[in-house]
Each structure stands twice: as C-alpha cells, then as structure tokens.
Amino acid sequence: MKRKAAGGPGKNAKSKKDIWELRLYVAGQTPKSLAAFANLKKICEEHLKGKYHIEVVDLLKNPQLAGGDQILAIPTLVRKLPPPIKKIIGDLSNTLRVLVGLDLRPRA
C-alpha cells in the first residue's frame, strides 16, 4: 500500500520544480517505521510546508521495489527530487541530521 501524505502538492507550489518528492521505505507497521513517518511529517511541515510530497512504500507488500532505490536499511528516506538523490536511514529522530541530509541546512 502506498500512503500519501501531502503538504498539498500543487496548491501553494510555484512550479513543479520546487516540489520535494520524498519516499519513505518501511517494512510493516513497526515502531521504527511509525516514528520515522511521524518525524518526517513534522520536519516537512516545519521546513517545507506546502511544497513536499511523501510516498510511503511498504516493502512487505511490494518487496520488488527494494531493488529500485537500492534499499537495505529500514526505514530509509529517499529524496527523489530535487536532485541529487539523497538517502537518510534511521527513524529520523535526529532532526538536525535529517535537515543536513536533506540539504535544508548546511553541514556544520
């Protein structure tokens, strides 16, 4: 199942280029997955309000999708857009590192 969490794509976006396409890979409803989703949602709302799009991929249901983004660790967040592709693994509990990983904050 693919869950879509929206910051309202297209609503406030100036153009399609500015939309952040994020994909979160999980394997079932584990505490880590749920935590990751919650953390991601919070960060996006804070920093990317209105211009992000989260797709959640459950590998238990679609195992063949693991190959495409070279997913090994669960949970993994993939920034599909804007390029380059970024991968952030873990439950996203360290907000600072998530922001660094997503290039929302320069590396210290």
Partner 1 sequence: MVKEKTRLLRGGLQKVPTGIAGLDEITNGGLPKGRPTLVCGGAGSGKTLLGMEFLVRGAIQFNEPGVFMSFEESAEELTKNVASLGFDLNRLTASKRLLVDYVHIERSEIEETGEYDLEGLFIRLGNAIDSIGAKRVVLDTIESLFAGLPNPSILRAELRRLFRWLKKKSMTAIITGERGENALTRHGLEEYVSDCVILLDHRVANQISTRRLRVVKYRGSIHGTNEFPFLIDERGITVMPITSLGLKHTVTSQRISTGIPRLDTMLGGKGYFRGSTILVSGTAGTGKTSIAAHFVDAACRRGERSVFFAFEESPSQIIRNMRSIGIDLQQWVEKGLLRFCAERPTVYGLEAHLASMEKIIDLFKPKVVIVDPVTNLSSVASETDVKAMLIRLLDQMKSNQTTALFTTLTGASGSLELTEVGTSSLTDTWLLLRDIEIGGERNRGMYILKSRGMAHSNQIREFLLTDKGVDLIDVYVGPSGMLTGSARISQEKQERDIELAHQQEIERRKLNVETKCKALEAQIASLHAQFQAEEQELKKLIGQEKMRQRSASQLREKIASIREEDKNSKRRNR
Q: Which of residues 34-63 bind partner 1 (CB under 8 A)?
A: 35-36, 59-60, 63
Closest by CA position to 70, among listed 83, 82, 55, 85: 85
101 binds partner 1 (CB under 8 A): yes
Under rule CB under 8 A, how many of the chain's residues touch partner 1?
33
Contact (CB, 8 A) for 66 and 25: yes
Please say which residue, 13 or 66, places its beta carbon nearer to partner 1. 66
66 binds partner 1 (CB under 8 A): yes
Please say which residue, 5 or 65, places its beta carbon nearer to partner 1. 65
32 binds partner 1 (CB under 8 A): yes
| 105's tokens | 């904050």
72 binds partner 1 (CB under 8 A): yes
Please say which residue, 48 or 71, places its beta carbon nearer to partner 1. 71
Closest by CA position to 54, among listed 67, 39, 44: 44
29 binds partner 1 (CB under 8 A): no
Contact (CB, 8 A) for 50 and 20: no
Distances (CA, A) of 68 to 2, 20, 80: 16, 19, 12
